[in-house]
Amino acid sequence: THAPITITLTGAGGQIGYAALFRIAAGDLLGPDQPVALRLLEIPQGMRAAEGAALELADCAFPTLASVEIADDANVAFDGANVALLVGSRPRSAGMERGDLLAANGAIFGPQGRAINDRAADDVRVVVVGNPANTNALIAQQHAPDVPSERFTALTRLDHNRAVGLLAAEAGTPVADISGVTIWGNHSATQYPDLSHATVRGRPALDIVDASWARGPYIERVAQRGAEIIEVRGGSSVASAANAAIEHTRDWLLGTGERSAGHWTSAAVVSRGEYGVPAGLISSFPVTSAGGNWSVVEGLDIDAFSRERIDASVAELAAERDAVQELGLI
Protein backbone atom coordinates (compact mmCIF):
# COMPACT_ATOMS: atom_id res chain seq x y z
CA THR A 1 0.00 0.00 0.00
CA HIS A 2 1.05 3.59 -0.69
CA ALA A 3 1.47 6.45 1.77
CA PRO A 4 -1.49 8.85 1.58
CA ILE A 5 -1.30 11.85 -0.73
CA THR A 6 -2.41 15.07 0.97
CA ILE A 7 -4.98 17.07 -0.93
CA THR A 8 -5.99 20.50 0.32
CA LEU A 9 -9.31 21.88 -0.93
CA THR A 10 -10.26 25.50 -0.28
CA GLY A 11 -13.89 26.56 -0.26
CA ALA A 12 -14.63 23.03 0.92
CA GLY A 13 -17.98 24.09 2.33
CA GLY A 14 -19.17 25.41 -1.03
CA GLN A 15 -21.03 23.70 -3.81
CA ILE A 16 -18.09 22.70 -6.02
CA GLY A 17 -16.27 21.52 -2.92
CA TYR A 18 -19.23 19.35 -1.96
CA ALA A 19 -19.33 17.81 -5.43
CA ALA A 20 -15.56 17.24 -5.56
CA LEU A 21 -14.89 15.83 -2.07
CA PHE A 22 -16.81 12.58 -2.43
CA ARG A 23 -15.30 11.74 -5.79
CA ILE A 24 -11.78 12.47 -4.58
CA ALA A 25 -12.36 10.39 -1.44
CA ALA A 26 -13.79 7.54 -3.53
CA GLY A 27 -10.58 7.30 -5.56
CA ASP A 28 -11.65 9.09 -8.75
CA LEU A 29 -8.58 11.32 -8.61
CA LEU A 30 -5.71 8.92 -8.03
CA GLY A 31 -7.22 5.46 -8.37
CA PRO A 32 -8.46 2.75 -6.01
CA ASP A 33 -5.00 1.88 -4.62
CA GLN A 34 -3.91 5.37 -3.56
CA PRO A 35 -5.13 6.60 -0.15
CA VAL A 36 -5.85 10.31 0.14
CA ALA A 37 -5.66 12.58 3.19
CA LEU A 38 -8.09 15.47 2.80
CA ARG A 39 -7.55 18.94 4.25
CA LEU A 40 -10.53 21.26 4.05
CA LEU A 41 -9.90 25.00 4.23
CA GLU A 42 -12.79 27.36 4.86
CA ILE A 43 -13.44 30.85 6.09
CA PRO A 44 -15.35 31.02 9.40
CA GLN A 45 -18.79 31.31 7.74
CA GLY A 46 -18.11 28.17 5.68
CA MET A 47 -16.87 26.01 8.56
CA ARG A 48 -20.19 24.37 9.48
CA ALA A 49 -20.81 23.34 5.88
CA ALA A 50 -17.32 21.85 5.70
CA GLU A 51 -17.87 20.04 9.00
CA GLY A 52 -21.12 18.62 7.65
CA ALA A 53 -19.36 17.37 4.53
CA ALA A 54 -16.72 15.74 6.73
CA LEU A 55 -19.44 13.90 8.68
CA GLU A 56 -20.90 12.58 5.45
CA LEU A 57 -17.45 11.56 4.21
CA ALA A 58 -17.10 9.49 7.39
CA ASP A 59 -20.47 7.92 6.63
CA CYS A 60 -19.27 6.79 3.22
CA ALA A 61 -16.50 4.68 4.81
CA PHE A 62 -14.40 5.02 1.66
CA PRO A 63 -11.43 2.60 1.82
CA THR A 64 -9.24 5.17 0.00
CA LEU A 65 -9.95 7.98 2.49
CA ALA A 66 -7.12 8.04 5.05
CA SER A 67 -8.18 11.16 6.99
CA VAL A 68 -10.13 14.42 6.91
CA GLU A 69 -9.02 17.59 8.69
CA ILE A 70 -10.73 20.97 8.66
CA ALA A 71 -8.98 24.29 9.18
CA ASP A 72 -9.65 28.00 8.84
CA ASP A 73 -5.91 28.77 8.84
CA ALA A 74 -4.09 28.39 5.51
CA ASN A 75 -0.80 27.56 7.27
CA VAL A 76 -2.47 24.53 8.82
CA ALA A 77 -4.46 23.49 5.76
CA PHE A 78 -1.52 23.57 3.33
CA ASP A 79 0.98 21.89 5.68
CA GLY A 80 2.47 19.02 3.70
CA ALA A 81 0.00 19.43 0.81
CA ASN A 82 0.88 17.52 -2.36
CA VAL A 83 -2.12 18.87 -4.26
CA ALA A 84 -3.89 22.19 -3.65
CA LEU A 85 -7.29 22.75 -5.23
CA LEU A 86 -8.11 26.43 -4.77
CA VAL A 87 -11.87 26.62 -5.21
CA GLY A 88 -12.94 29.23 -2.67
CA SER A 89 -12.86 32.75 -4.06
CA ARG A 90 -14.72 36.01 -4.04
CA PRO A 91 -17.07 35.94 -7.02
CA ARG A 92 -18.14 39.12 -8.77
CA SER A 93 -21.29 40.55 -7.22
CA ALA A 94 -23.63 43.06 -8.84
CA GLY A 95 -22.13 46.53 -9.08
CA MET A 96 -18.65 45.39 -8.07
CA GLU A 97 -15.82 47.16 -9.88
CA ARG A 98 -13.06 45.05 -11.36
CA GLY A 99 -10.50 46.61 -9.02
CA ASP A 100 -12.60 45.61 -5.99
CA LEU A 101 -12.92 42.06 -7.29
CA LEU A 102 -9.18 41.76 -7.87
CA ALA A 103 -8.39 43.29 -4.48
CA ALA A 104 -10.77 40.91 -2.68
CA ASN A 105 -9.16 37.95 -4.40
CA GLY A 106 -5.68 39.28 -3.82
CA ALA A 107 -6.46 39.14 -0.10
CA ILE A 108 -7.35 35.44 -0.49
CA PHE A 109 -4.79 34.17 -3.01
CA GLY A 110 -1.77 36.16 -1.82
CA PRO A 111 -1.78 34.66 1.70
CA GLN A 112 -2.65 31.22 0.32
CA GLY A 113 0.33 31.42 -2.06
CA ARG A 114 2.57 32.34 0.86
CA ALA A 115 1.21 29.47 2.97
CA ILE A 116 1.81 27.06 0.09
CA ASN A 117 5.33 28.44 -0.24
CA ASP A 118 6.07 27.98 3.45
CA ARG A 119 4.17 24.79 4.28
CA ALA A 120 3.34 22.62 1.29
CA ALA A 121 5.27 19.51 0.24
CA ASP A 122 8.14 19.97 -2.23
CA ASP A 123 6.09 18.36 -4.99
CA VAL A 124 3.00 20.55 -4.45
CA ARG A 125 0.81 21.09 -7.51
CA VAL A 126 -1.76 23.88 -7.47
CA VAL A 127 -4.99 24.09 -9.47
CA VAL A 128 -7.00 27.31 -9.23
CA VAL A 129 -10.75 27.03 -9.88
CA GLY A 130 -12.06 30.17 -8.15
CA ASN A 131 -12.52 33.11 -10.51
CA PRO A 132 -10.89 35.12 -11.97
CA ALA A 133 -8.95 31.83 -12.03
CA ASN A 134 -5.95 32.69 -14.24
CA THR A 135 -5.16 35.88 -12.36
CA ASN A 136 -5.83 34.33 -8.94
CA ALA A 137 -3.28 31.64 -9.91
CA LEU A 138 -0.80 34.35 -10.89
CA ILE A 139 -1.29 36.13 -7.54
CA ALA A 140 -0.74 32.89 -5.57
CA GLN A 141 2.31 32.02 -7.66
CA GLN A 142 3.90 35.43 -7.14
CA HIS A 143 3.65 34.89 -3.37
CA ALA A 144 5.39 31.51 -3.59
CA PRO A 145 8.91 32.30 -4.83
CA ASP A 146 10.34 29.00 -3.57
CA VAL A 147 7.86 26.85 -5.51
CA PRO A 148 8.68 26.24 -9.19
CA SER A 149 6.42 28.65 -11.08
CA GLU A 150 4.98 25.95 -13.36
CA ARG A 151 3.34 24.26 -10.34
CA PHE A 152 0.61 26.93 -10.47
CA THR A 153 -2.16 26.29 -12.99
CA ALA A 154 -5.74 27.41 -13.56
CA LEU A 155 -8.70 25.37 -14.72
CA THR A 156 -9.90 25.60 -18.32
CA ARG A 157 -10.78 21.91 -18.45
CA LEU A 158 -14.48 22.64 -17.98
CA ASP A 159 -14.36 24.93 -21.02
CA HIS A 160 -12.47 22.20 -22.88
CA ASN A 161 -15.01 19.53 -21.96
CA ARG A 162 -17.88 21.82 -22.92
CA ALA A 163 -16.19 22.46 -26.27
CA VAL A 164 -15.75 18.72 -26.90
CA GLY A 165 -19.32 17.94 -25.87
CA LEU A 166 -20.87 20.64 -28.03
CA LEU A 167 -18.78 19.63 -31.06
CA ALA A 168 -19.79 15.98 -30.60
CA ALA A 169 -23.44 16.98 -30.44
CA GLU A 170 -23.19 19.06 -33.62
CA ALA A 171 -21.33 16.28 -35.46
CA GLY A 172 -23.79 13.67 -34.17
CA THR A 173 -20.99 11.51 -32.83
CA PRO A 174 -19.84 10.22 -29.42
CA VAL A 175 -17.29 12.38 -27.60
CA ALA A 176 -14.79 9.51 -27.85
CA ASP A 177 -14.51 10.27 -31.60
CA ILE A 178 -13.29 13.83 -30.97
CA SER A 179 -9.72 15.03 -30.52
CA GLY A 180 -7.58 18.12 -31.05
CA VAL A 181 -9.94 20.68 -29.50
CA THR A 182 -8.14 23.60 -27.79
CA ILE A 183 -9.17 26.35 -25.38
CA TRP A 184 -6.82 29.32 -25.62
CA GLY A 185 -6.39 32.27 -23.28
CA ASN A 186 -8.38 33.35 -20.26
CA HIS A 187 -11.14 31.42 -18.43
CA SER A 188 -13.58 34.20 -19.25
CA ALA A 189 -15.92 35.28 -22.02
CA THR A 190 -12.88 36.05 -24.22
CA GLN A 191 -11.66 32.43 -24.21
CA TYR A 192 -11.15 30.94 -27.67
CA PRO A 193 -12.43 27.41 -28.29
CA ASP A 194 -10.51 26.45 -31.43
CA LEU A 195 -11.58 23.67 -33.81
CA SER A 196 -8.97 24.34 -36.49
CA HIS A 197 -6.96 21.26 -35.42
CA ALA A 198 -9.90 19.21 -34.19
CA THR A 199 -10.78 15.88 -35.73
CA VAL A 200 -13.86 13.69 -35.72
CA ARG A 201 -12.96 10.01 -36.20
CA GLY A 202 -9.66 11.25 -37.66
CA ARG A 203 -11.24 13.62 -40.21
CA PRO A 204 -10.90 17.41 -39.86
CA ALA A 205 -13.82 18.68 -37.81
CA LEU A 206 -14.16 21.69 -40.10
CA ASP A 207 -14.97 19.28 -42.99
CA ILE A 208 -17.85 17.87 -40.94
CA VAL A 209 -19.38 20.88 -39.20
CA ASP A 210 -20.04 24.23 -40.83
CA ALA A 211 -16.95 26.44 -40.51
CA SER A 212 -19.10 29.53 -40.02
CA TRP A 213 -20.80 27.77 -37.07
CA ALA A 214 -17.41 26.80 -35.63
CA ARG A 215 -16.15 30.38 -35.84
CA GLY A 216 -19.34 32.08 -34.66
CA PRO A 217 -22.20 30.56 -32.66
CA TYR A 218 -20.05 27.70 -31.38
CA ILE A 219 -17.48 30.01 -29.77
CA GLU A 220 -20.27 32.04 -28.19
CA ARG A 221 -22.07 28.92 -26.91
CA VAL A 222 -18.95 27.48 -25.25
CA ALA A 223 -17.99 30.82 -23.71
CA GLN A 224 -21.56 31.41 -22.47
CA ARG A 225 -22.25 27.84 -21.34
CA GLY A 226 -21.90 28.80 -17.68
CA ALA A 227 -24.66 31.42 -18.12
CA GLU A 228 -26.77 28.86 -20.00
CA ILE A 229 -26.48 26.41 -17.08
CA ILE A 230 -27.49 29.13 -14.61
CA GLU A 231 -30.50 30.01 -16.79
CA VAL A 232 -31.70 26.40 -17.18
CA ARG A 233 -30.72 24.94 -13.82
CA GLY A 234 -31.29 27.97 -11.67
CA GLY A 235 -27.76 27.76 -10.28
CA SER A 236 -24.17 27.70 -11.51
CA SER A 237 -22.45 24.58 -12.80
CA VAL A 238 -21.22 22.48 -9.93
CA ALA A 239 -20.79 18.77 -10.74
CA SER A 240 -19.23 19.51 -14.13
CA ALA A 241 -16.85 22.04 -12.56
CA ALA A 242 -15.82 19.52 -9.89
CA ASN A 243 -15.39 16.86 -12.56
CA ALA A 244 -13.16 19.14 -14.61
CA ALA A 245 -10.97 19.96 -11.59
CA ILE A 246 -10.55 16.23 -10.91
CA GLU A 247 -9.71 15.46 -14.57
CA HIS A 248 -7.16 18.30 -14.74
CA THR A 249 -5.43 17.10 -11.57
CA ARG A 250 -5.52 13.42 -12.51
CA ASP A 251 -4.05 14.09 -15.94
CA TRP A 252 -1.34 16.29 -14.41
CA LEU A 253 -0.27 13.70 -11.83
CA LEU A 254 -0.84 10.49 -13.75
CA GLY A 255 -0.22 11.75 -17.30
CA THR A 256 -2.28 12.05 -20.46
CA GLY A 257 -0.30 8.94 -21.36
CA GLU A 258 -1.58 6.43 -23.80
CA ARG A 259 -3.42 9.03 -25.88
CA SER A 260 -1.94 9.18 -29.39
CA ALA A 261 -0.61 12.20 -31.28
CA GLY A 262 -3.22 14.89 -31.86
CA HIS A 263 -4.88 14.02 -28.56
CA TRP A 264 -4.42 16.73 -26.03
CA THR A 265 -6.38 18.60 -23.42
CA SER A 266 -6.45 22.25 -22.35
CA ALA A 267 -5.08 23.82 -19.19
CA ALA A 268 -3.98 27.30 -18.16
CA VAL A 269 -0.24 26.99 -17.53
CA VAL A 270 2.62 29.47 -17.22
CA SER A 271 3.59 30.68 -20.66
CA ARG A 272 7.21 30.39 -21.71
CA GLY A 273 6.35 32.49 -24.75
CA GLU A 274 4.68 29.72 -26.76
CA TYR A 275 2.45 30.96 -29.59
CA GLY A 276 3.40 34.55 -28.85
CA VAL A 277 1.77 34.54 -25.40
CA PRO A 278 3.96 36.77 -23.19
CA ALA A 279 6.13 34.68 -20.87
CA GLY A 280 4.83 34.54 -17.31
CA LEU A 281 1.11 34.85 -18.05
CA ILE A 282 -1.00 31.88 -16.94
CA SER A 283 -2.91 31.21 -20.14
CA SER A 284 -4.77 28.24 -21.59
CA PHE A 285 -2.94 26.15 -24.19
CA PRO A 286 -3.19 22.74 -25.81
CA VAL A 287 -1.26 20.54 -23.38
CA THR A 288 -0.19 16.99 -22.64
CA SER A 289 1.24 15.72 -19.38
CA ALA A 290 3.98 13.20 -18.59
CA GLY A 291 6.07 12.62 -15.48
CA GLY A 292 3.98 15.12 -13.52
CA ASN A 293 4.66 18.03 -15.87
CA TRP A 294 2.47 19.75 -18.42
CA SER A 295 3.94 20.46 -21.87
CA VAL A 296 2.42 22.86 -24.34
CA VAL A 297 1.79 21.17 -27.71
CA GLU A 298 3.97 23.19 -30.04
CA GLY A 299 4.10 23.68 -33.78
CA LEU A 300 0.39 24.04 -34.49
CA ASP A 301 -0.44 26.26 -37.42
CA ILE A 302 -2.30 29.40 -36.26
CA ASP A 303 -4.36 31.10 -38.97
CA ALA A 304 -5.35 34.78 -38.99
CA PHE A 305 -8.74 34.17 -37.35
CA SER A 306 -7.20 32.16 -34.50
CA ARG A 307 -4.38 34.69 -34.11
CA GLU A 308 -6.84 37.51 -33.56
CA ARG A 309 -8.90 35.50 -31.04
CA ILE A 310 -5.88 34.30 -29.06
CA ASP A 311 -4.39 37.79 -28.98
CA ALA A 312 -7.66 39.30 -27.71
CA SER A 313 -7.94 36.87 -24.79
CA VAL A 314 -4.25 37.15 -23.95
CA ALA A 315 -4.56 40.95 -23.98
CA GLU A 316 -7.27 40.61 -21.32
CA LEU A 317 -4.92 38.46 -19.21
CA ALA A 318 -2.15 41.02 -19.58
CA ALA A 319 -4.57 43.78 -18.50
CA GLU A 320 -5.58 41.76 -15.41
CA ARG A 321 -1.92 41.23 -14.56
CA ASP A 322 -1.22 44.95 -14.97
CA ALA A 323 -4.22 45.77 -12.76
CA VAL A 324 -3.08 43.50 -9.91
CA GLN A 325 0.43 44.92 -10.26
CA GLU A 326 -0.94 48.46 -9.95
CA LEU A 327 -2.95 47.42 -6.90
CA GLY A 328 0.27 46.10 -5.35
CA LEU A 329 -1.15 42.57 -5.18
CA ILE A 330 1.84 41.00 -6.92
Active site residues per annotation:
187
Asked if residue 131 binds ligand NDP (CB under 6 A), the reply is: yes
Applying CB under 6 A, the span of 13-21, 31-39, 265-273, 313-321 interacting with ligand NDP comes to: 13-21
Contacts of 144 (CB under 8 A, 6+ apart): 113, 114, 116, 117, 152
Q: Which DSSP string corresponds to 87-129?
A: -------TT--HHHHHHHHHHHHHHHHHHHHHHS-TT-EEEE-
Q: Does 110 bind ligand NDP (CB under 6 A)?
A: no
Site for ligand NDP in 204-243 (CB under 6 A): 226, 236-238, 241
As measured in angstroms, the least distance from the Cβ of 14 to ligand NDP is 2
Q: Does 107 bind ligand NDP (CB under 6 A)?
A: no
Name beta bridge partners: 128.
Answer: 86, 154
Whether the Cβ atoms of residue 285 and residue 296 lie closer than 8 Å to each other = yes
* Rounded Cα–Cα distance for residues 110 and 253 (Å): 25
The three-state secondary structure class of 299 is coil
Among residues 80 and 278, whose Cβ is nearest to ligand NDP?
Answer: 80
Q: What are phi and psi of 308, to 5 degrees?
A: -65, -45
Minimum distance of ligand NDP from residue 224's CB (angstroms): 12
46 binds ligand NDP (CB under 6 A): yes
For every residue of 8-31, DSSP letters joined together read: EEESTTSHHHHHHHHHHHHTTTT-
CB hemisphere CA count around 20 (13 angstroms): 34
Q: Is 12 annotated as a binding residue?
A: yes
- Per CB under 6 A, the list member of 10, 156, 186, 306 interacting with ligand NDP is 10
| Selected binder of ligand NDP within 4, 15, 263, 280 (CB under 6 A) | 15
| 105 assigned to a ligand binding site | yes
Q: Which residues are annotated as a binding site for NAD(+)?
A: 11-17, 105, 112, 129-131
Q: Which residues are annotated as a binding site?
A: 11-17, 92, 98, 105, 112, 129-131, 162
Q: Which residues are annotated as a binding site for substrate?
A: 92, 98, 131, 162
Give residues in contact with ligand NDP (CB under 6 A). Answer: 10-11, 13-17, 41-43, 45-46, 49, 87-91, 108, 129-131, 158, 226, 236-238, 241
